[in-house]
Amino acid sequence: MSEPASQFETLMARLEKRDAVIGIVGLGYVGLPLALAGLDAGFHVLGFDVNARRVAAINAAEQVISYIGPDVMRGAIEGGRFDNTTDFTRLAEADAILICVPTPITRHRDPDLSFVSDTAETISKTLRPGQLVVLESTTWPGTTREIVQPLMEATGLVVGKDVFLAFSPEREDPGNPHFGTKTIPKVVGADDGQSRDLAVALYEKIVSEVVAVSSAAAAEATKLTENIFRSVNIALVNELKQVYSAMGVDVWEVIAAAATKPFGFMPFYPGPGLGGHCIPVDPFYLTWKAREYGMETRFIELAGQINTSMPRVVVDRLAETLNEATGKGLKSSRILLLGVAYKKNVDDTRESPSLVLIEQIEQRGAVCDFHDPHIAAIPSTREHPGLAGRTTVALTAETIASYDAVLVATDHDAVDYGLIAANAKLIVDTRNVFARLGLPADRVVKA
């Protein structure tokens, strides 16, 4: 008589046949695209979120992310393999549970892992033999082993034998038309071979390429390294912008020329500050953890200081330009800010420097309205509660002409920059969009 199949063998067989159920906790900018990719791969997907309205909207096939169209949502729901719920007891139905919850930082730049630990604790309440849990939320090296694994093993189940645990960092770039969930290589790490093999087997069905590393910590460090690389290089060009501007040199022209070198240079671009759920936040997860080992991360922290100072630099430039043009500076001026999303062509305001810009402009005595084709009203945020509910203004010739200056913070494609160029009294451009589009520059000042 043959031996019964192990938990590993049973789950591997279900993954290979694609009859496993994938549970995804967190249906935001990471979790929802991942769910759709899992559906495309032939799996049944069970989505979980604490936001009942969002769950209801997804189950009704409504568009909840600007770049995921209603046809896609309708096809996902009508396929009959996508069910979403706020009932976390149904986690027991999932064979693989992917955690896609936020990992913010506090005001003091310390990691806030409450969403991860709360989710892991919730999973542990229904954890059963044969389940695979994968953390995708960005965090410091060691989180999977030190926080998630103890909560799983507190049930009496053993990771690597009864249940399985891995880390695979999300690499979403919201609104990127060239790379999506299925085409971005997926890094996978685990602290035991069976967990890693199962995670690799799962993701190989969903994405085009899987890159396995030796441990969960190595995978966690990979994501931090990617975002620190961007943060440091953006800080460099933000600093160069200020230096070259003082010398009368256009940093945008310099970057374009340097980018013609076929080796040894990669272009990064300055802006009004960093936004989004990754680059302004993730580097500080490593600086926090490094202190546990008596290590300083001076390079990373300096980059953070430069990037977070950029809104002030932009507002100073705006005030200086207004003073030269009108003689009154910011006080009593009316400013129209273009774009409150943290990057172009998305409806996401997380960590957006535009929110800081509005507050700093108004602190200096000006009125600041905004136009954003993707955001009708500013949502409630922890850091900027006073801006919640403010609504976008219509972009007409009369509206534009009524402001003392237009400040470009986010260069959405769905904006008529020609209309702005023709009617604005003054334009302060932090994204080089007018030069890039070849529009008249007699009233455009780069910042």
∠ CA(251), CA(427), CA(354), 5° rounding? Answer: 80
Q: Is there a single domain that holds both residue 186 and residue 261?
A: no
Q: What is the largest CA-CA distance in the chain?
A: 93
Looking at the DSSP bridge assignments, the partners of residue 82 are 45
CB of 103 closer than 8 Å to CB of 113: yes
Report, in angstroms and rounded to the nearest whole number, the Rg of the chain calculated over CA atoms: 24
Q: How many domains does the chain have?
A: 2
Structural domain includes residue 273: yes
The secondary structure element, H or E, covering residue 427 is strand 427-429
Structural domain includes residue 2: no
* Nearest CA-CA partner of 425 in 399, 394, 447: 399
Among 183, 214, 245, which residue terminates a domain? Answer: 214
* Nearest CA-CA partner of 187 in 179, 177, 178, 196: 196
Q: Is 278 a catalytic residue?
A: yes
Q: Is there a single domain that holds both residue 114 and residue 17?
A: yes
Among 214, 243, 275, which residue terminates a domain? Answer: 214
CATH code of the domain covering residue 137:
3.40.50.720
Q: Is there a single domain that holds both residue 201 and residue 255?
A: no
Could you read off the pLDDT tens digit of each residue along the chain, which spans 447 residues? 456 789 999 999 999 999 999 999 999 999 999 999 999 999 999 999 999 999 999 999 999 998 899 999 999 999 999 999 999 999 999 999 999 999 988 777 788 999 999 999 999 999 999 999 999 999 999 999 999 999 999 999 999 999 999 999 999 888 788 898 999 999 999 999 999 999 999 999 999 999 999 999 999 999 999 999 999 999 999 999 999 999 999 999 999 999 999 999 999 999 999 887 677 788 888 888 899 899 999 999 999 999 999 999 999 999 999 999 888 889 999 999 999 999 999 999 988 999 999 999 999 999 999 999 999 999 998 889 999 999 999 999 999 999 999 999 999 999 999 999 999 999 999 999 999 999 987 899 999
| Active-site hit among 278, 336, 408, 447 | 278
DSSP 353-418: HHHHHHHHHHHTT-EEEEE-TT-SBPPP-SS-GGGTT-BPPP--HHHHHTSSEEEE-S--SSS-HH
Which residue range forms the structural domain that includes residue 52?
7-214
